[in-house]
Chain A
């Protein structure tokens, strides 16, 4: 079993195949950007992109990404050049505690690919499943709008 992780091919060790993808990424590959928030697909802290679509790594079986392409937040920036969404997040001072933000950013990246010409409603609908207890939602909206002009 193997998959493409941020542009590189990797094996999925057999004893990790039944683990949630989130733990394979965090504990086997040391990509700890995606977070554990609920483990049942409700909060979005573990959002990653699988074959272009946002997905919840906590309820995706690791073995099920065999042959697929997984993008995590660690794979967004090109060396020192941040992805426009990451840059917008800094420009708008989005993160408070930051724990939800990897998931928010990945959901936003996927949204911008799917719906380049965004309305506020598109953002609300696409992002409603990504919870933020600190209350950064207004800034997330503003940052996505601004990133939409840059991508």
Chain B
């Protein structure tokens, strides 16, 4: 172990001030490895012992209820009874699996799991009871689990559902160890992109707080460039009081040169300096006046999971053990090994159920804080971020600014131009230092910003390009990456183009869609929503209906219709949502529906609520009051229809977010005549 001293925390409240080497952290980040799964690896996920099977879930369970879907696959292929298969969440002692991101869990993991289960089934049938099994991959058609029937296409009670409704300990913050202490790492109220650290603090005042255990200077790697000051207490409630008593003075090398986020993200200002470097469509639209010319601004937004991230760490027998709710336990393991100078074998990370992630729990933060405080005190330490830390120290959906234009002739779009300014998503500043981003900017662009920028329509001479700027607040993956904001801009412009053409917006889309699967979901949503039927009128309210659609990652499709009402004060209510969704073969229809419902409520949030306030280059939000998310009274009845398909399973966790926001914004346009161009909607924009 390098630069580490251990001090046991005595009952009276020993002060551990461990200073050696503070601030010498590696400048080369640990980059996540993302191997695709294969059948051979999948054998490590399933085991048979004493008439029972154990499925070590190769995915993070964060509410997509993948444990249930993969158990359906395993049971079907094994020919096993539902209650003979136990599902356990994985630890890093099994072969590496890639991060749970990108709606890939059924798409990429169903077949390898089915192959492994088929091999195990045959081995058991041949009388083998111990030892390794070999997988000889068989044709898809020979797998029982990849066609509808029996458990495939059924919706059994969700795995861990009973634990959830009875309050069983499932999440990282629920874990407990004897002698456990509670920790927090304080950081400066400043941009995470400027160097900051603790200068001085009032130790005597902190010591006087009942439950105080230690102040720890050597409290793990910085977040961005924010060095922390660790505090440890015997009871979690003491942490607030200790933090306040310490009254830490911070050194802050600010301000950040791009503190005015709205200004640096302004796409028009950027376009005035030259063309955008990253093209996703490279047609050459004609010059001249445009029929549609919109500037659409989508702000920064937090993920807002109800679970602030948490970790429990322990150090025993030269091994670091961490319980975490992370989307990539293996990355957390690698990061911790690197940060604390340990071998990979000396670190193990146990996955816990995650209380909502949405792309925001893909890196290593709170785990390193818990580890550092554990290493410093010698006691197990649990850390759960405060809500304010979630906002200040997490990464967020980047703000994006769109200039989007279309020209229309004879009912068709002939020219299209979409320019976008955003911040890095896949090459998030939360992991990738700026020197490395300069390289990725040149050689790779950012597929996260680009996601969904290729509109799913035939658009004539079409150009789409983007650029990114590194911001004082970290941006990164957020449900759907760039696809939600891009689709919102695109679906707004398409709707305006339909108006220019004088064509019904649903018919206009159908006339421009290239993929027959997208045509099918559009037609179907028109049917179930009775598109075209006149809306009833309600005294004092403006009513409107809108449609939106899109394709996520090429192979998943969704279309949505929204009804809204807007009162004279400009308050919007979404009164009904319909969605038709095609993600290929559906393993668990009820949970695919749940994902659609969630995405539609996120869509509603994108239009009506999502905004993360910042000032002077750092996040100012402290609680849900400052960064509201949709509440029960915001949410209408939702009707979801799934296309029955025998295509191989595709992603379902993010698809409907390409359809919902456009449908809602277009319904508001239909109701009020106002085209929303800055989100979320402000009542003053719609008041009469």
CB–CB A20/B237 < 8 A = yes
What's the interface size class on A, roughly? Answer: 35 or more
Convert B343-383 into 0s and 1s, putting 1 for each residue whose CB lies closer than 8 angstroms to a CB of A.
00000000001111110000000000000000000000000
Given A45-B306, A95-B165, A133-B306, decide whether A138 and B638 contact each other with a Cβ distance below 8 A.
Answer: yes
What's the interface size class on B, roughly? Answer: 35 or more
CB–CB B307/A35 < 8 A = yes
Segment 130-174 of B: residues with Cβ below 8 Å from A:
155, 157-158, 160-162, 164-171, 173-174
How far is it, in angstroms, between the C-alpha of A47 and the C-alpha of B65 when the chains are bound? Answer: 24
CB–CB B164/A101 < 8 A = yes
* Smallest CB separation, B366 vs chain A (Å): 13
Convert A9-45 into 0s and 1s, putting 1 for each residue whose CB lies closer than 8 angstroms to a CB of B.
0000001101110010011001111111111101101
CB–CB A43/B624 < 8 A = yes
| Residues of the A chain whose Cβ atoms lie less than 8 Å from the Cβ of B173 | 26, 32, 35-36
How far is it, in angstroms, between the C-alpha of A43 and the C-alpha of B169 when the chains are bound? Answer: 20
CB–CB A97/B386 < 8 A = no
CB–CB A135/B635 < 8 A = yes
| Residues of the B chain whose Cβ atoms lie less than 8 Å from the Cβ of A136 | 594, 597-598
A89 at the interface (CB under 8 A from B): yes
Question: Could you say which of B165, B211, B597, B625 contacts A139, with CB atoms under 8 Å apart?
Answer: B597
CB–CB A99/B591 < 8 A = no
B318 at the interface (CB under 8 A from A): no
CB–CB A135/B600 < 8 A = yes
Question: Could you say which of A36, A98, A129, A139 contacts B160, with CB atoms under 8 Å apart?
Answer: A98
CB–CB B237/A131 < 8 A = no
Q: Which residue of chain B lies nearest to A93 when distances are taken between CB atoms in the complex? A: B590
Residue picked from B65, B210, B624, most chain A C-beta under 10 Å: B624
Interface majority SS on B: helix, strand, loop or mixed?
loop
| Residues of the A chain whose Cβ atoms lie less than 8 Å from the Cβ of B234 | 15
CB–CB A98/B387 < 8 A = no
A56 at the interface (CB under 8 A from B): no
CB–CB A96/B65 < 8 A = yes
How far is it, in angstroms, between the C-alpha of A86 and the C-alpha of B166 when the chains are bound? Answer: 7
Question: Could you say which of A19, A27, A40, A97 contacts B305, with CB atoms under 8 Å apart?
Answer: A97
Convert A107-151 into 0s and 1s, putting 1 for each residue whose CB lies closer than 8 angstroms to a CB of B.
000000000000000011101111111111111110000000000
* Smallest CB separation, B159 vs chain A (Å): 11
B64 at the interface (CB under 8 A from A): yes
Question: Could you say which of A74, A93, A99 contacts B306, with CB atoms under 8 Å apart?
Answer: A99
How far is it, in angstroms, between the C-alpha of A128 and the C-alpha of B168 when the chains are bound? Answer: 25
How far is it, in angstroms, between the C-alpha of A35 and the C-alpha of B308 when the chains are bound? Answer: 10
How far is it, in angstroms, between the C-alpha of A73 and the C-alpha of B211 when the chains are bound? Answer: 28
CB–CB B598/A18 < 8 A = no
CB–CB B637/A138 < 8 A = yes
CB–CB A134/B167 < 8 A = no
Q: Which residue of chain A lies nearest to B170 when distances are taken between CB atoms in the complex? A: A98
CB–CB A37/B635 < 8 A = no
B384 at the interface (CB under 8 A from A): yes
A65 at the interface (CB under 8 A from B): no
| Residues of the B chain whose Cβ atoms lie less than 8 Å from the Cβ of A77 | 166
CB–CB B631/A128 < 8 A = yes
A68 at the interface (CB under 8 A from B): no
* Smallest CB separation, A30 vs chain B (Å): 6
CB–CB A131/B635 < 8 A = no
CB–CB B601/A135 < 8 A = yes
* Smallest CB separation, A67 vs chain B (Å): 21
List 29 A-B pairs, Cβ < 8 Å. Answer: A15-B210, A15-B235, A23-B237, A26-B173, A33-B167, A37-B308, A37-B387, A38-B387, A40-B387, A42-B625, A73-B166, A90-B162, A93-B161, A95-B165, A96-B65, A96-B594, A96-B598, A98-B170, A98-B355, A99-B356, A100-B355, A102-B167, A128-B632, A130-B632, A133-B305, A133-B358, A134-B598, A137-B631, A138-B597
